[in-house]
Homo-oligomer: A and B are copies of this chain.
Amino acid sequence: MTDSTVESVRDTTADEVDAIAVAAAGAAGPWAAMSLADRAGVLRGVADRLDAHAAELIPVAMRETHLAEARLAGELRRTSFQLRLFAQTVLDGYFLDVRIDSADADWPMGAPRPDLRRMNVALGPVVNFAASNFPFAFSVAGGDTAAALAAGCPVIVKASPGHPELSRAVGRLVDQALAEFGAPSGTFGLVFGRDAGVQVLTHPAIAAAAFTGSTAGGRALYDLACRRPVPIPFYGELGSINPVFVTEAAARTRAAEIASGLLSAVSASAGQLCTKPGLVAIPEGATLFTELAELTRTGPVPTGEMLNEGIAAGFTRAVEHVRAQPNVELLAGGEPGEALLLATTARTVLSDPDALLHEMFGPATLLVSYRDTTELLELARSVGGQLTVSIFGDHVDDTVRALTAAAVGTAGRVLWNSWPTGLSVTYAQQHGGPYPATTSPTSTSVGTASISRFLRPVVYQSVPDDLLPLELRSDNPLSIPRSVNGARPQ
């Protein structure tokens, strides 16, 4: 932050929003046309600048989000790592999914096959609705921005109201890096305010949207995206309860370990994580209950302050909703700043799933006791779309196999003896799942595969070599991996 004067951050005006969207449309062609090496250089330039300014950014983030310094430092490291991983993804060229069919007069379809050369191209300007709970990794220069820029798309970020000054500071660093590394003006934009977000989403210049936030807010924006005269893909990551199923064997043999892991997973970052476990199925009468009681006996489990008053109020409402259901008991916690453990039975949940399968975005979880394997499996098949399902087991038996099948049917990530928090940014990662976990279950919002959300395929038919982009020319000058005539990419 070269400018450390704090002025209040005002909403972006309608005229300003329009200018930003028009600038993004103008930048779309030139930005997509930059070489892969130059595009990767821009991403690295943003990463370097974030790292260089960590000491200035982290205090602003701490003040605006109440998250701890160590957590924010780790998150910033993750964010710059993520940008560099996308730079590498761009250079690899594998995301272009190049497929080439050579002309074939004897193609068995019954008609000659022309020369066809296919690659992914950038979809166009993307709006990224930033999340409040990851002020670096899912915000201005976070995963959605990195993936869209890597795809060759300009990005307009709708800032989270939870950390406006940090958003502005990061936005300036992104602007500076893009200018320094030669990205066209308009490649990045930042808007503030709810109306501005709606205006960008419905602007004709915009080709796709990414969102991380609540189910209600995300669904409202999804509906707007679908109702546009020209509808656009809306990649929303909404709500998830991230159920955890503990088998009888695991509850018997590893109760202490599971109990302490659960309390950590529920209380970390004050439970304000998309992947916080919100429902834990435990065999009736398991010693796990005793272990949890033991761990909470000496006093409440501290969670730290919540992000802001709005989120704290939403958490209170969600908890009150669950506590108001019949047969729900308070096990531990209940005051602000404490991890909250509620308990009920699988019978209760199964008798009214909509009432109890209810995300509490904050440090709370619902322990659900089941009587037998039948009830456990019925519960596992009733939880609806999820980002994650975790199974704590001891050995692989029929119950575990059935739980795993149910988990694959309902979630994007299935974990064994692991907590779903602490998502890793990798090549194979999948963060997304059936609705309401995401509005687009066929994609991910974390990991290098998330770039494909912002790409569309184009095929060139019988186009001469000197009119083709470098990626598709016969001599493959960029050494891009390409699948020729249906073979694996070489």
Contact = CB atoms under 8 A, between A and B. Distances in A.
B430 A118 contact: yes
Sorting the interface of chain A by its residue count into under 10, 10 to 19, 20 to 34 or 35 or more gives 35 or more
Interface in A359-417: 385, 396, 400-401, 404-405, 408-409, 411-417
B462 A429 contact: no
Contact of A416 (B110, B413, B457, B461): B461
Contacts of A78: 109-111
A7 to B, nearest CB: 33
When all copies of this chain in the complex are counted, the total is 2
Contact of A426 (B29, B77, B113, B405): B113
Interface in A64-119: 74, 77-78, 81-82, 88, 92, 94, 99-101, 107-111, 113-114, 116-118
A128 interface: no
Given A74-B110, A427-B101, A430-B458, A448 B231 contact: no
B118 A429 contact: yes
Contacts of A422: 111
A111 B74 contact: yes
Contacts of A443: 457
Interface stretch (A34-42, A190-198, A479-487): A479-487
Contacts of A434: 230, 456
A181 interface: no
Interface of A: 29, 74, 77-78, 81-82, 88, 92, 94, 99-101, 107-111, 113-114, 116-118, 121, 123, 222-223, 226-227, 230-231, 233, 385, 396, 400-401, 404-405, 408-409, 411-418, 422, 424-430, 432-436, 439-444, 448-449, 452-453, 455-464, 466-467, 481, 483, 485-486, 488-490
